[in-house]
A and B are shown apart, each in its own frame.
Chain A
Amino acid sequence: MTYGTTTILDGPGVGRALTRIAHEILECNKGVSNLALVGIRSGGDRLAAELVRRIEQIEGKSAPLGAIDIGMYRDDLASRGTVEVGRTDVPFSLDGKNIILVDDVLFTGRTIRAAMDALIDLGRPRTIQLAVLIDRGHRELPIRPDYVGRNVPTSRDEKIDVIFNADNCAAEVRLLKPQG
């Protein structure tokens, strides 16, 4: 299948969205105390790192950063076969923290469900909030993001690609429409 590509966000656009999300996170949580960011591999972990850098620029104080892999928490092992399981790396206690869970694209919500299970296995956060760069709709579970870079209405057969550059910074978001 071939796809027609449209750029939804370019580099500066992604940057502005992330900066806004960083501000919103700080505003809602009244600063960085008790705040930690956990990104979902692979995509969300890199966006979480970018958000932590922005928070540090804004507040002058950093927030702890973790990454989780949800391979072990998927509900589709039987139908999708074995997928690679990456490392979960959360080098701080989650107990009592406000956790910002970060993913690149929010779609059915199943990844977020798995990620919340993974987080809860690791500890007992005070809150879990969800930040995504793109919300493309089509939810299958009652999940709603707290921070959104851009809402993009899509059809189910379209795809969203978040392109990262060599420094692991999000450089572009593309919408791929099937053709023919």
Chain B
Amino acid sequence: MEFRHKHILGINELSRDDIVTILDTADSFKEINSRDIKKVPTLRGKTIVNLFFESSTRTRTSFEIAGKRLSADTINITASSSSVTKGETLEDTARNIEAMNPDIIVMRHAASGACHYLAERINSSVINAGDGAHEHPSQALLDLFTMRQHKGSIEGLTVAIIGDIGHSRVARSDLYALNKMGAKVRLCGPGTMMPVGIEQLGAEIFTDMNEAIRDADVVMMLRIQLERQGKTLLPTLREYARFYGLNVNNLKLAKPDALVMHPGPINRGVELSSYVADGPQNVILDQVENGVAVRMALLYLVSGVERGEV
């Protein structure tokens, strides 16, 4: 086994072999989460800082539990990111935290590229927990893990990703990951939410959601927000739900055993009808559960890479 990434900044930088290693490692760690004593001493003495510039209960908690189950000391820091170049810069914040010698910094930030910025400037390992509209690698990995768990293999699956592709770091990371693992990706969303040139990343673009989910093995719904940076990209949520929402009827177009996934938190009645959100095909809570194992794997794997290695 060869894993030589000191940082996990994006799926784009990982190879297929790296992804398989992460998923296999997560498989081994998953068993711990069902024990009575949910703790192993693997990362005893390591310090992990969860540095969150954007609020996120789900991802932060998942990383925190992952770190604690590996016996690392985890510290949460909620910081506010500046929109101007005054005051303490991200570099200052990072250097202050680094002076306390953490081994791993898990960072979420509203600015795309903020994790690259951090990784270039400090010695600790950096794990990207979501940067702007760029990448969210741990989410994509837990999505793959969940698909593999239910479908056995990812190769050859048809995965439809529906919603706000333009602002979604999850969509980008999933797209890279699924392509590397040999799945076919379909993207569909409102015209205002489809970024320029996305098809060049290896996806088939659909304008009609029914066509996008027809015979799909997995339907991944993205969270929709009416207001994005003060701009209205949609007329109403009602209309969004009509054209881009998943309900019992259009879900029938997908394969009978298709999985319904969502990175959460869900908007009931908008992108997912409650019948689907609570229905037998949804694996949303499996995603959450698997998230802990996948993040344990990431923390473990970057810990073994010597400082100074890339």
Q: Residues of A at under 8 Å CB distance from B? A: 69, 71-74, 77, 80-89, 117-118, 121-123
Contacts and interface: CB of A to CB of B under 8 A. Distances in A.
B223 to A, nearest CB: 33
Q: Is the interface of B mostly helix, strand, loop or mixed?
A: loop
A81 B41 contact: no
Contacts, number: 56
A96 B200 CA distance: 60
B67 to A, nearest CB: 14
B73 to A, nearest CB: 15
Contacts of A88: 28, 31
A86 B70 CA distance: 15
Interface residues of B, number: 24
A34 B211 CA distance: 59
Interface in B1-43: 1, 3, 24-25, 27-29, 31-32, 35-37, 39-43
Contact of B41 (A69, A72, A123): A72
B35 A82 contact: no
Given A81-B304, A81-B305, A121-B37, A86 B28 contact: yes
A72 B43 CA distance: 8
A121 B40 contact: yes
Contact of B28 (A80, A85, A123): A85
Nearest to B25: A85
Contact of A81 (B37, B43, B306): B306
A73 B40 contact: yes
Q: Counting chain B CB atoms within 10 Å of each CB, which of A73, A81, A87 scores highest?
A: A81
Contacts of A123: 36
B52 interface: no
Interface in B32-87: 32, 35-37, 39-43, 70
